[in-house]
Amino acid sequence: MAQRSQPFTGRHMAAVLVTFFGIVIAVNFTMARFATATFGGIVVENSYVASQEFNRWLDEAEAERALGWDALTAWRPDGRLAVALSGVPEGAEVTGVARHPLGRMPDHAFTFVSTGKDQVLSREVLPDGRWLLRLEVVSAGKTWRREEELR
């Protein structure tokens, strides 16, 4: 019993090509979607200028670490931010800016008022969503900065 094989025709080749390129296109669209959904936006406006400032930024970061200050941020149900400070001198000024990671919403600036020893509360309300919060604490001419993600 001999089997009769079907010849490989142009239709077969067309099916192979359509399937192959269909898979390639589907993978590319999937990867592009993942890339745009997870990328946090612009890191620096100008890479050359940032490279010239890099060593100064490292020195500032080391000086900030040497202060021994820390902060723990909590997003309250009413939308305000509560920050517990640690090691920060009394009377320090706390400010912050919340940026949407993909720039889809405008930035929100925050000022904080003291609610007790080492506790501050934002005056402004932060809308629901995913945000990058940049805190800045200034006391006696010394500055401490922190960036954290809020969800």
Interval 12-46: pLDDT, tens: 999 999 999 999 999 999 999 988 877 666 677 78
Global pTM reads 0.64
Cβ atoms 150, 127 nearer than 8 A: no
* pLDDT tens-digit readout, 43-82: 777 889 889 999 998 999 999 999 999 999 999 999 999 9
Element (H, E) at 73: strand 70-75
Decide yes or no: CATH 3.20.20.70 for domain 47-150.
Answer: no
Confidence at 2, pLDDT banded by 50, 70, 90: low
pLDDT digits (tens, 9 = 90+) for 102-114: 777 889 999 999 9
Residue 15 carries which DSSP code?
H
